[in-house]
């Protein structure tokens, strides 16, 4: 997925999917999937991180605009976009010389699972912490984070299973 046209189409697909479909799901008061963070997982690694951070911020800001959430999505996706390389170094043992050749689908499922779960939980924890913005609702923050993370991860792995070509 290194083609720039594919990345632009992924950007708009995730934006419209989140705004028109997934933002309308609120199951049991805790479950709301945020699949737009898949952009962070699928964007290719490069030496220059500034365009990636800008696109991530723009995606979050666009979702904030349609959701009327005041910048919470932009901040949370920007945080996981910024720390993504740290987790790539930890889970995949990659150095900057390996970034142009790195493909997520060529790694083992266990490493991908740990990487995606970690970034998803961090994103959701940041998002729900700012959405509630109170320590009185800390149990609510944890419940929202856990349930929404599970549902987001389920959708992400189901989507990658369905939309990737078997080789």
Q: Output 68-74 pairs: Cβ under 8 A, ≥24 positions apart.
A: 69/131, 72/127, 72/130, 72/131, 73/34, 73/36, 73/127
CA dihedral 110, 8, 33, 78 (to 10 degrees): 80
Are 156 and 116 in contact by the 8 Å Cβ rule? The answer is yes
| Residue in the structure block whose two tokens are 């997520």 | 104
Does residue 32 contact residue 148 with C-beta atoms inside 8 Å?
Answer: yes
Going by C-alpha positions, the residue among 60, 21, 35 that lies closest to residue 153 is 35
More reliable by pLDDT, 118 or 164: 118
**What are the pLDDT digits (tens) for 95-118?**
888 888 888 888 899 999 999 999
Neighbour-count burial of 46, counting CB atoms closer than 10 A to its CB (0-12 exposed, 13-18 middle, 19+ buried): middle
| Predicted local distance difference test score (pLDDT) of residue 96 | 83
Q: What is the pLDDT of residue 116?
A: 95
| Res. 166: pLDDT tops 60 | no
Which residues 6+ apart lie within 8 Å of 75 measured at CB?
60, 126, 130
- Please give the structure tokens belonging to residue 37: 């963070």
Rounded Cα distance, 57 and 78, in Å? 6
Joined together, the tokens standing for residue 121 give 């939980």
Higher-confidence position of 2 and 66: 66
Nearest to 69, CA basis, from 111, 19, 116:
19
pLDDT number for residue 38? 93
Binning pLDDT at 50, 70 and 90, where does residue 133 land?
confident
pLDDT of residue 34: 92
Specify the pLDDT at position 59.
Answer: 95
Q: Residue holding tokens 């995949």? A: 92
d(CA 127, CA 44): 24
């Amino acid at each position: 997925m290194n083609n720039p046209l594919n990345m632009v189409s992924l950007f708009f697909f995730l934006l419209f999917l989140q705004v028109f479909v997934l933002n309308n799901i609120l199951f049991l008061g805790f479950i709301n999937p945020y699949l737009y963070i898949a952009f962070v997982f699928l964007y290719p690694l490069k030496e220059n991180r500034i365009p990636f951070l800008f696109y991530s911020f723009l995606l979050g800001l666009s979702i904030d605009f349609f959701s009327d959430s005041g910048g919470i999505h932009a901040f949370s996706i920007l945080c996981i976009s910024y720390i993504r390389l740290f987790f790539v170094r930890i889970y995949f043992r990659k150095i900057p010389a390996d970034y142009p050749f790195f493909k997520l689908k060529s790694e083992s499922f266990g490493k991908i699972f740990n990487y995606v779960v970690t970034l998803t939980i961090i994103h959701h924890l940041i998002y729900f912490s700012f959405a509630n913005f109170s320590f009185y609702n800390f149990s609510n923050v944890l419940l929202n984070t856990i349930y929404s993370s599970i549902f987001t991860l389920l959708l992400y792995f189901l989507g990658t299973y369905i939309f990737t070509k078997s080789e």
